[in-house]
Amino acid sequence: MSNLVNKTALVTGGSRGIGAGIVRRLAADGANVAFTYVNGKERAEALVKEIEATGRKAVAIQADAANAEAVTAAVETTVAKLGTLDILVNNAGIGTFAPIDQATLEDFDRTFNVNVRAVFVAIKAAAKHMTSGGRIINIGSINATRVPFEGGSVYAASKAAIQGLTTALSRDFGPLGITVNNIQPGPVNTDLNPDNGPFADFLRTQMAIGRYGTTDELASFVSYLAGPEASYITGASLNADGGFKG
């Protein structure tokens, strides 16, 4: 596929998991891609080499999403190294799960800093560079609306905030020809939620198709929303969740 040739993208949290799948797919579709990571330097560098071997440019940027200056700098570095910014994928996210009597204010603040504040900061920085045809894609979670287990309040609230941000920002960006959407995955096999982890069997019972999603299945949805054919979709929270009923 080549529908993203001459486009540039920034994927936050792109060194592993869903983010790495998105980096690979956008590059395969023709885009030059920057991505952030926080700890996994070696893995990030290996991904850069992998993408460069396909003839696309790739840039790995260490930037903790909890640090607003680092997030803004990641956007500026992307533009400096790749020339422009057409596609922003806010994927970096963390999950802290604990029932309300054990959940801490620190959990809440860290989760909201990474899952919500960083998204706001990245979009503000990207807005200075994006032009008509631009794409902002947030990775929320089906847990924004469906939580069939206890202990998910902080994570679910952070992902529900992404729904509201997406809905409202589509109004700010609509007149500029830039779309803003929110993909809400169900369980996807990554380090965050391994398909052989302690919750996996229960989660499978909650899905119509009874299995975890793959990072490729999420990346293909991102690719579609990032491309020219998705120009009439904005402000939407779209589930890719295997029919997660919650």
- For ligand NDP, the binding residue among 87, 139, 144, 219 (CB under 6 A) is 139
Q: How many alpha carbons fall within 13 Å on the CB side of residue 68?
A: 9
- For ligand NDP, the binding residue among 10, 27, 59, 65 (CB under 6 A) is 65
Per CB under 6 A, the segment of 11-19, 80-88, 101-109, 229-237 that binds ligand NDP is 11-19
152 binds ligand NDP (CB under 6 A): no
170 binds ligand NDP (CB under 6 A): no
138 binds ligand NDP (CB under 6 A): no
Nearest approach, Cβ of residue 158 and ligand NDP (Å): 8
114 binds ligand NDP (CB under 6 A): yes
16 binds ligand NDP (CB under 6 A): yes
- Name the closest residue to ligand NDP (Cβ): 93
Interacting residues with ligand NDP between 88 and 107 (CB under 6 A): 91-95
Q: Name the active-site residue from 37, 155, 212, 224.
A: 155
Q: Report the side by side order of strands in the sheet with 237-240.
A: 58-62, 32-37, 8-11, 87-90, 135-139, 179-185, 237-240
3 vs 77 by CB, closer to ligand NDP: 77
Mind spelling out the 3-state secondary structure of the chain? CCCCCCCEEEECCCCCHHHHHHHHHHHHCCCEEEEEECCCHHHHHHHHHHHHCCCCCEEEEECCCCCHHHHHHHHHHHHHHHCCCCEEEECCCCCCCCCCCCCCHHHHHHHHHHHHHHHHHHHHHHHCCCCCCCEEEEECCHHHCCCCCCCCHHHHHHHHHHHHHHHHHHHHHHHHCCEEEEEEECCECCCCCCCCCCCHHHHHHCECCCCCECHHHHHHHHHHHHCHHHCCCCCCEEEECCCECC
54 binds ligand NDP (CB under 6 A): no
Per CB under 6 A, the segment of 79-87, 120-128, 164-172, 180-188 that binds ligand NDP is 180-188
65 vs 133 by CB, closer to ligand NDP: 65
Distance between CA atoms of residues 140 and 71, nearest Å: 18
- Is 232 noted as a catalytic residue in this protein? no
Per CB under 6 A, the segment of 38-46, 128-136, 170-178, 230-238 that binds ligand NDP is 38-46
Please name the residue that has the structure tokens 């922003």: 88
166 binds ligand NDP (CB under 6 A): no
- For ligand NDP, the binding residue among 22, 26, 40, 179 (CB under 6 A) is 40
Chain residues that interact with ligand NDP, rule: CB under 6 A = 12-19, 36-40, 43, 64-66, 91-95, 114, 139, 141, 185, 187-188, 190-193
